[in-house]
Amino acid sequence: MKLHELTIEKANELLKKKEITAQELTEDILNRIDECESKIGAYVTIDKEGALKSAKSTDEKADFTDPLAGIPMSAKDNICTKNLKTTCCSRMLENFVPPYDATVISKLRERNAIILGKTNMDEFAIGSSTQTSFFHTTQNPWDLSRVPGGSSGGSAAAVASDECIYALGSDTGGSVRQPASYCGVVGLKPTYGRVSRFGVASLAATMDTIGPITKNVTDCAIVLSAIAGQDSFDPTSSDIPVDNYLQKLKNDVKGLKIGIPKELLYHEAVSKDVKDAVLNAIKVYEDLECICEEISLKNAEYAMSAYLVTLAAEASSELGQYDGIRYGYRTSSDYQDLKDFYKKTRGEGFGFDVKWHIILGTYLSDEKYYDKYYLKAQKIRTIIKKDFDEAFKKYDFLITPTTPTTAFKIGESSDDPFKMHMNDLCVSIVNLAGLPAISLPCGFSKGLPVGLQIIGKAFDEAGILQVAYAFEQNNDYHTRRIKERMV
């Protein structure tokens, strides 16, 4: 196996045995980036000098007891990195260099992780395809004519093409899990509050989460253990103790009760191939002596509407800070007054999808319509959360498809925001409820990966990782990534 194909666990074993160095590993992955980037376009910023400097420093310390020490990774471009551009893939922040690290980056630096660079994304994380980036479109490593998903598509594509060992993404309505599904890797959305959001450009403050994208479930457990925990800089972060997720992995799920929400599995948007792959995954769990039953999340049909209203209203509020005065893009056109200055700055600095959401969100938040739309969406959100609570009284975990279809062609649905959001059908409902969920490969359709989503109770990341691990140990879908992708 080539160095860039290693997992965190395998790379750490070799580093501890001194069979490889962090510098050799980093150089190999940088060479892999040189080989693949012209085809994939996973990155917007590559810090070759900084990565090699960090690798050399880590080798000098010669302490690889921490599994992340010396392991090259990448971060989505809405996660602040000190002295390294963080643009949110928008013209508005095209040249912004943060003076501080996000908490998740600080935690990884403390563990001597090697930061390779920043990955491409949909502008300000609005999108499901990584086509709305100001810089370029990212291609799916399985089929270069298809999207990698979004908005963390660059992170998922980088992991799938071995341009890093693991990556971080943000998940507001499925933006870690959906691209993980499309790219045939593992993506985890933690419980809201499990991981600090400090230093992450906010999109929808009540739904944003940060999660790992990795090559397998074991690596996902390692990264989550490193980034989870309370943070004094983030008042929404939880003080619930963090598990050692790696130690809790075991191939034993006998007797667990798993519910399958029929409103999601049998939705008309879910393709036959995806449904069949999920049904085959359920058979695996039945063979492992789990009890699997269909259930009803009776208000699931309202989830997408509630999510879209919440997203637009909160995004409109969050994006109001980008005015061209304090930092970021500023119009060079002539303007008549301050209002005209704002109009031209934001009109030129934001892309179509961002402006569409700002305009919609401003309308929905207006005092004339607040009760009719945003308040009603929050009431529906509460009802959906209660539906999950009722389900978890009887079942330990829920299983759904991650996405209704496999990765679609670049250019499809790009002019229809509502149709684009249907890719988030099975994942956005989890963000509304603030629950943890993981996506992992469960099959293939015409050579493209299909993702399985496992949803757990709040703060039961250890549980969903164990259930995912048991499935992974009984198939080879995660290993086929190397053999069957295009690059």
Q: Which domains does the chain have, with CATH numbers?
A: 3-249+459-484 (3.90.1300.10)
| Exposed / middle / buried, residue 441 (Cβ in 10 Å: 0-12, 13-18, 19+) | buried
- What is the model's pLDDT at position 423? 87
- Indicate the SS3 state at residue 161: coil
Whether the per-residue pLDDT at 419 is higher than 90: the answer is: no
Q: Could you tell me if 465 and 217 are in contact, meaning their C-beta atoms sit under 8 angstroms apart? A: yes
| Cα separation, 454 vs 468, whole angstroms | 7
* Range 124-131 average pLDDT: 96
**Which residue bears the tokens 């062609």?**
409
Active site members: 76, 151, 175
pLDDT digits (tens, 9 = 90+) for 225-278: 999 999 999 999 999 999 999 999 988 999 999 999 999 999 999 999 999 999
Identify the pLDDT of residue 199.
98
- pLDDT one-digit tens code per residue, 37-59: 999 999 999 999 999 999 999 99
Mean per-residue pLDDT for 401-423? 85
Pair of tokens at residue 473: 């140990």
Task: Using pLDDT thresholds of 50, 70 and 90, give the confidence band for residue 481.
Answer: confident
Residue range 459-479: mean pLDDT, rounded? 96
- Residue 373: phi and psi, rounded to 5, are -115, -70
Whether 287 and 365 have beta carbons less than 8 Å apart is answered as: no
pLDDT tens digits, 359-393: 999 999 999 999 999 999 999 999 999 999 999 99
Percent of the chain at pLDDT > 90 equals 94
According to the model, what pLDDT value does residue 412 have?
A: 86
- Residues 156-203: pLDDT tens digits? 999 999 999 999 999 999 999 999 999 999 999 999 999 999 999 999
Taking alpha carbons only, the member of 485, 459, 438 closest to residue 213 is 438
Mean pLDDT of all residues in 430-459? 98
| CA-closest candidate to residue 397, choices 451, 450, 435 | 435
Look at residue 151 in the predicted model and tell me its pLDDT: 97
Mean pLDDT of the chain: 96
3-state SS class at 469:
helix
pTM of the model: 0.97
Burial of 333 (C-beta count, 10 Å sphere; 0-12/13-18/19+): exposed
Residues in a beta bridge with 454? 399, 438
Identify the CA nearest to 119 among candidates 56, 212, 205, 251: 212
pLDDT tens sequence across 98-114: 999 999 999 999 999 99
Handedness of CA 134, 139, 140, 141 (dihedral sign): negative
50, 55, 57, 61 alpha-carbon torsion, rounded to 10°: 160
Average pLDDT over residues 76-97: 98
- Burial class of residue 355 in the structure, from the number of CB atoms within 10 Å of its CB (0-12 exposed, 13-18 middle, 19+ buried): middle
The residue-averaged pLDDT of 271-291 equals 98
Instruction: Read off the pLDDT band of 415 (50, 70, 90).
Output: low
